[in-house]
Amino acid sequence: MLKQGDTAPGFTLPNQNNEQVALSDYLGKRLVLYFYPKDFTPGCTEQANAYSGGYDQIEALQAVVVGVSKDSPKSHADFIKKNNLRFTLLSDENLETIKLYGVWKDKKMYGKTFLGVERSTFIIDEKGIIQAVFAKVNPSKDLEAVLDYLNKMQNTSR
């Protein structure tokens, strides 16, 4: 997995409207880039709703949120509509970006091992440098950890 201080790998992926979105589109902004396993699952819904509910706080800290999963743009559009999400979701059906960021991992459930997305969040600064990595994220605590870190970034940049 990538670590603090690494240059964030570039990507171009379709969003929920099937429009191409690139990492370079976010240069000049702080980006909260989070990877999650699947639309409409309980943990992923909780995490997305938390980000949506905290979006004003995130924006006040000069950051934007973008979620990435291997779900299709149509699934993302439906997920956004059902939950009234306030941010962009990107589709990585070929797993290229998911693998670039090192979040495609062995997971275990009910004694079986399988490959899947390890819920992870990256905070990327205005120049495209990774400032923080949160791995094996708890969906109910992710927003709080991100806001704490963004506040620290805000206070050190003054």
In this prediction, residue 114 carries a pLDDT of 87
φ/ψ of 109, rounded to 5, equals: -150, 130
pLDDT tens across 100-120, in order? 999 999 888 788 888 999 999
In this prediction, residue 110 carries a pLDDT of 87
Q: How confident is the model at residue 57 (pLDDT cuts 50, 70, 90)?
A: very high
Q: CA–CA separation, 104 vs 126, rounded Å?
A: 26
Helix count (H) and strand count (E) of the chain? 5, 9
Calculate the CA 109 to chain-centre distance.
23
Task: Report yes or no: 119 and 43 within 8 Å, Cβ to Cβ.
Answer: yes
Q: How confident is the model at residue 154 (pLDDT cuts 50, 70, 90)?
A: confident
Helices assigned H by DSSP within the chain:
42-53, 55-60, 73-83, 96-100, 142-156
Closest CA to 35 of 136, 145, 157: 136
Q: CA–CA separation, 57 vs 77, rounded Å?
A: 24
* CATH architecture of the domain formed by 12-151: 3-Layer(aba) Sandwich (3.40)
The residues that are catalytic are 44
Query: Average pLDDT, stretch 61-88?
Result: 98
When the pLDDT of each residue in the chain is averaged and rounded to a whole number, the result is 95
Examine the pLDDT at 158 and tell me if it is beyond 70: no
